[in-house]
Structure 1
Amino acid sequence: MIKLYNFPKSGHAHRIELMLSLLGLPTELVFVDLAKGAHKQPDFLALNPFGQVPVIDDNGTVIADSNAILVYLASTYDKAGKWLPHDPVNAARVQRWLSVAAGPLAFGPAAARLVTVFGASFNADEVIGRAHTLLKVMDAELAKSAFLAGNEPTIADVANYSYIAHAPEGNVSLEPYPNVRAWLARIEALPGFVAMPRTAAGLQTTI
Structure 2
Amino acid sequence: MVNETREIVKEFVYCLIRGGKMPPILYYLPPSPPCRAIMMLAKMLDMEFDMKVVNILEGEQLKPDFVELNPQHCLPTVDDDGLVLWESRAILAYLVSAYAKDDKLYPKDIRVRALVDQRLQFDLGTLYARMGDYFFGTMFMGAPLDETKKAKLLEALRWFEAMFKKREFTASDHFTIADLSLTVTISQMEAFGIDLGPYPKIRAWFKKCKEELEPYGYEEINQSGADALKGMLESKMQNK
TM-score band, normalised by the shorter chain?
A: 0.7 to 0.9
Q: Which deviates more, 109-118 or 3-12?
A: 109-118
Q: CA deviation at 1:28?
A: 3.2
Q: 1:177 aligns with which of 160, 184, 199?
A: 199
User: Displacement, 1:120?
Assistant: 6.5
Q: What is the match of residue 74 of structure 1?
A: 96
Query: Residue 20 of structure 2 corresponds to which residue in structure 1?
Result: none
RMSD in angstroms over aligned alpha carbons? 2.1
Give the direction of change, closer, same or farther, for the CA distance of 1:63–1:122 in structure 2 (3 Å limit): farther
Please report how far the alpha carbon of residue 43 of structure 1 lies from its aligned counterpart in structure 2 after TM superposition.
Answer: 1.2
Unaligned runs of 5+ in 2: 1-22, 235-240
Following superposition, the deviation at residue 123 of structure 1 comes to 6.0
Is 183-192 or 91-100 further displaced after alignment?
183-192
Q: AA paired with 1:31?
A: V
**SS of alignment partner, residue 63 of structure 1:** strand
Residue matched to 2:8? none
Q: Is 1:128 equivalent to 2:150 in the alignment?
A: yes
Structure 1, unpaired ranges of 5+: 203-207
TM-score, length of structure 2 as denominator length: 0.76
- Answer yes or no: is the 8 Å Cα contact 2:105–2:176 preserved in 1: yes
Secondary structure of the 1:97 match is helix
Alignment of structure 1 residues 107-186 onto 2, 5 Å: 107-119=129-141, 121=143, 124-186=146-208
Partner secondary structure for residue 216 of structure 2 = coil
Is 2:123–2:129's contact at 8 Å kept on the other side of the alignment? no
Q: Provide the secondary structure at the position in 2 that maps to 1:57.
A: strand
Per-residue Cα deviation, 1:169-193 (whole angstroms, up to 9, x for no partner):
4442222112212222212212424
Question: Distance in 1 between the 2:189 and 2:79 partners?
Answer: 29
Instruction: Give the structure 2 partner of residue 20 of structure 1.
Output: 42
Q: Does 1:61 align with 2:83?
A: yes
After the TM superposition, which segments of 4 or more aligned residues of structure 1 sit over 6 Å from their partners?
Answer: none
Matched, 1:30 2:52: yes
Count, aligned residues: 202
